[in-house]
Amino acid sequence: MNAPIDVSGAREEEIAPVRAATGSAQHLVAAMPRLILEARRAAASVFHGTHGRRRAGPGENFWQYRRFIDGEPSNRVDWRRSARDDHLYVREREWEASHTIWIWPDLSPSMIFASPLVWETKRDRALVLAFALGELLVQGGERVAIPGLMRPTANRNVIERMAEAIIHHGGEWSSLPPPITPGPREEVVLLSDLWSPASEIVAAIDHMAKRGPNGHVVQVVDPAEETFPYSGRIDFREPETGQHLTVGRAEMWAQDYLSLVAKHRDRIRSETSPRGWSFAIHRTDRPASELLISLHSRMGEARDVISRKRASVKLGETEAA
């Protein structure tokens, strides 16, 4: 149990942020069992609908024999197996190319929002997505890490590891991950509402992409942020700065708001598209499995490309030798 906060001699405006941060942390801890269960269910529904990752490629473990193809180097023939038949056979190995995927769930104050249109906050949905994705990746033989919080791991209890790292995070949550420079065989998954200034988002992507990793940027939004369903007198409050804006006829702001959102997203796409990174929008009124299926598929395709490149390089080196 957390120790009581000493607020003697402090002004209310100084106490309020501390109380809010403490309450948010307590709510996060209380919600973890439900989020973990939801993540496992989402991961299971996706996993049963996808094929395993076993395939031929660079590795150490035997996978299968296949017929020799004319034009292949003769040193690929498994002569012992071929001696038992009238055909030549090649001994294939199982593809083994473990990658590290850095997953960043945005848990900043702006993520603690849920309009009357949904029952789940953006923060909770980001955590479910992060946990479920971690589970899927580890089941597929990959390693998962959280920038600044958790080192790469392939532990089968990866969800518990991720939850523990998040709960024990002692500092303030930032919308964007701490500076990391993943290698070319690694991947980055950014789960955030992306309402930070576009210049900050672009700078963060540019820094993470310096060494050529694959990346996937997902904007997690509440449907109200997507459609602006407000009318009449509305008091808007910015959760991270506490600034207020009272609008007399909110419906008059809708078109300008949607235009600004479109420009904001175009700026992000201008940074992701040239790098081959994916950019997706996920609304919290849609099933988590919907995004997981498409995201997991795109990540699998990207890793296959990397593995084929590495295999061709190794083949060239072997033939040259």
Cα–Cα separations (whole angstroms), residue 7 to 16, 18, 19, 107, 241: 10, 10, 10, 26, 22
% residues pLDDT > 70 (the chain): 78
Q: What is the pLDDT, as a whole number, of residue 93?
A: 61
Query: Is 127 within 8 Å of 88 (Cβ atoms)?
Result: no
Q: What is the pLDDT, as a whole number, of residue 67?
A: 83
Q: What is the pLDDT, as a whole number, of residue 312?
A: 52
Torsion of CA 20, 25, 28, 32, to 10 degrees: -170
Cα 281 from chain centre: 13
Q: What is the pLDDT, as a whole number, of residue 303?
A: 58
Q: Rounded to whole angstroms, how far apart are CA atoms 157 and 125? A: 20
Cα–Cα separations (whole angstroms), residue 39 to 62, 148, 287, 308, 315: 33, 22, 11, 31, 40
Query: Is 97 within 8 Å of 187 (Cβ atoms)?
Result: no
Domains (ranges, CATH) in the chain?
A: 32-47+98-309 (3.40.50), 60-94 (no CATH)
Q: Which residues of the chain have pLDDT under 70?
A: 1-24, 48-64, 92-98, 300, 302-321
Collapsing DSSP to helix, strand or coil, 162 comes out as: helix
Give the closest residue to 181 by CA, choosing from 206, 210, 143, 152: 210
pLDDT, tens only, 151-204: 999 999 999 999 999 999 878 899 999 999 999 989 999 999 999 999 999 999
> DSSP alpha helices (H): ranges in the chain?
12-47, 79-82, 122-139, 158-167, 198-208, 223-227, 254-272, 288-320
What six digits make up the tokens of 199? Answer: 């210049």
Q: Rounded to whole angstroms, how far apart are CA atoms 99 and 43? A: 19
What six digits make up the tokens of 80? Answer: 């012992």
